[in-house]
Structure 1
Amino acid sequence: MDLGITERLKPLIEQVRDMVRNEIMPLEDEYHHEVGRAEGGNRFAFTARQEEIREGLKAKARERGLWNFWLTDSDRGFGLSTVEYAYLAEEMGWSLLAPEVFNCAAPDTGNMEVIERYGSAAQKAKWLGDLLEGKTRSAYLMTEPDVASSDATNIAFKAELEGDEWVLNGEKYWASGAGDPRCVVYVLMARTEGEEASRHGQHSQFLVDASTPGIEILRPMTVFGHDDAPHGHMHIRFTNVRIPKDAIILGRGRGFEISQGRLGPGRIHHCMRAIGQAERALELLCQRSVTREAFGRPLAKLGANVDIIAERRMAIEQARLLCLKAAWMMDQGDPRAAAPWISQIKVIAPRVALDTVDEAMQMHGGTGVSQDTPLAGMWAGLRTLRFADGPDAVHRMVIGRKELKRYVNDAIDDRK
């Protein structure tokens, strides 16, 4: 098992790290402070300055060949393994803006992977090119307000076939990215089959043009009181929305097959970036501890602060190794074998990063929860990550059941 940095990866890490630290991070505050300054105060529109910053950085990344690292096992991708990509994603995790600069941002990476791996030739021709070029964006619509969507078999949003069209009715929320004015396509999960189908064979996935009549954005969902504009996590209603029959992906009743193929990589990408956030938080914590004094001494020499720093370093190293192990398991090509490892890191990475950010906030005092550091925004995003792509409790259930199967004759399955 080789979890190390390969020779071809070393220069890429240096280039990505240099661009993130020296070109992207110095501009991220200005970029985010522009939110709400578009014409009419529209928070879900971009100002000219935001366009200039973002597109200028993206152009530099493309010119340097630092683009679409995430797509493994594909001629369209960069040719990296998941382990190799993990190191790059960690570097991107230092900045909220960085993943998009390299066209490695969620939810587009997962959505592009769905289209690339499962889409028809026509679907790829219509949607994939502009997404891969970073010209458009997308959203993933699974979660619903009226059912416990952590058990996705509950999903009730209806898609009914009428002649050559599917008719869509229902509501989705936490549609991340749907607020972005560049969002042109939704990947949507809907119930298409009746109770006669198997529990995991009742749902299908569709590619839906975001401008289709009958789609109504009801509101942006807020995260700890913030609307995350202009990206947004939207609550959307579909009323008799008609889409072509060939908008279905792969075929009827194959929604769970697609979602598992999508969510595995998506979950681990979030975890890789979370480790980067933890590293940035630890850096801020340490800088504060040696430059700030209280009671006549540097903060690093007060109380248990040096022990706290040591504990955070050890926790981050452990999380990184687990993330790399999960990535290696994915590279072996057996999704079922990789699943419990992905679940393990999906629980651990946000937890470690959250604890590290929390200690950094504590070291900064009131400044740590203010707009003067990125820590409060990092904390909100990481706390939300404990729900996104499956809550902690569900992942612990996957891990626990896998462990117990070694000790019981009657194997515990997901239906018991």
Structure 2
Amino acid sequence: MTTRLVILGSTGSIGTQALDVVRAHPERFEVVALGTGQDVDGLVAQAEEFGVDRLAVADPDAAASAPGGRAVAGGAAAVEELAAIEADVVLNGIDGAAGLVATMTALEAGTPVALANKESLIVGGDLVVAAADRAGGRATHLLPVDSEHSALAQCLRAGTPREVARLVVTASGGPFRGRRRDDLRDVTAAEALDHPTWSMGPLITVNSSTLANKGLELVEAHLLFDLPMERIEPVVHPQSIVHSMVEFVDGSTIAQLSPPDMRLPIQLALGWPERLDRAFVAMDWTSATSLDFEPVDHDAFPALGLVVEAGRLGGTHPAVANAANEVAVEAFLDDRLAWLDIATAIADALEAHAGGHTPAPRDVDDVLDADRWARAHTRRAIAAR
């Protein structure tokens, strides 16, 4: 059986590792479309290697300059439209909230989404869940690519939903693990981007340094696995070997362990529910291995709690928290905002949002309106500092 893939964000970290999976299983996967943000040269090189004709790049100027006269559609809508073509799986690796429309487009076409773009689920919330349910159900149409949620999906196979007590989502702690709040006042972008375990894009890497990313992952777990936020907890695990755990009502805990390599959860999502017979990496149990676990320091990393609270409130609050965070991270990387003030920007936007903006989105337009409002509000607040 050949699985036809659409890969969005194909030249980014997730997309390039997904293509490693395709190279390892040429008989199993066929790439039918590729989309990216700006890297048209990389996109065309991928298309030539994998024999792909349907191409799109979000930057219209980049599309116009495609090498070799290759036909490449330009504009964000062109990338999103790739999610609607006939395929077996759409891998959504678009960064940030911009991936929401592509996720909805694929689900409305009845196509399962391998979701590396956690923001589209978090921002879209119940709208995305409802679309997945119409397409056939969350378990078959929202396939987690994040290592933590892939781990949870694997651990949940060990019991029935009624037997689950809580989900435990692990966090590496990022580059600033162990630092107190006073030690974080003058951290630089270079320090925040120096992740000790994972190689990721700048937005996700900075989010990992503030632990905002972990807050987003807790909300994502709530939506994927239909458990209340109160039964989903974070724990710091610096080795990034235990990717998450499920505790059952009898006190037993099941964990998923593997070296930190994203090709494992990508491969599992693309082949779900089957495990494909290629191990890119595996644990070496003949070597001494330590597994450490620590509580989260919420005083030093308040962004986590702010995002979790937005998830508890639901409606458009997660969209606001995510948008404010993205704008604040951009300002931090441009040296216009201190690292500690990323969380301040999230808190400010959530407080202002409580003053009367649509709490329960009726459709994607409501979500996108909340996203635009939060971005504009946060930009003004940062400029006024």
TM-score by length of 2: 0.26
